[in-house]
Amino acid sequence: MRRHGLLLLALLAAGCASRPFVPPDPPETAVQSEQRRTQASRPTYNLAGYPAAVREGYIDGCESAKHTEFARKDGKRMGEDKQYAMGWNDGYSICGAKR
């Protein structure tokens, strides 16, 4: 019985170690998103060989991790575009680790 309690405690503690929730932002037009990304700082990694969706997601995720005025999480796109979601998660993780 004691083992079950310890196992449950370990599972609860592991659940608390997840990434903080970043709420999605309201929709923006393609022109607005392009303007925002051109004003954001350039990625320190060369993303030239990646699709545009990955590059856009990386910039949005990186700016979100740095808590800049250009931070953005497009919730609709996160659910529909796997490349954008991968880029956002990579940008958030990499830029968040540098802080």
Average pLDDT score, the chain: 84
Whether 94 and 66 have beta carbons less than 8 Å apart is answered as no
Higher pLDDT, 21 or 79: 79
Domain ranges of the chain: 23-97
DSSP of 50-62, one letter per residue?
Answer: S-HHHHHHHHHHH
Structure tokens at 2: 């004691």
Structure tokens at 60: 């949005």
Average pLDDT over residues 63-74: 91
27 SS3 class: coil
Higher pLDDT, 63 or 44: 63
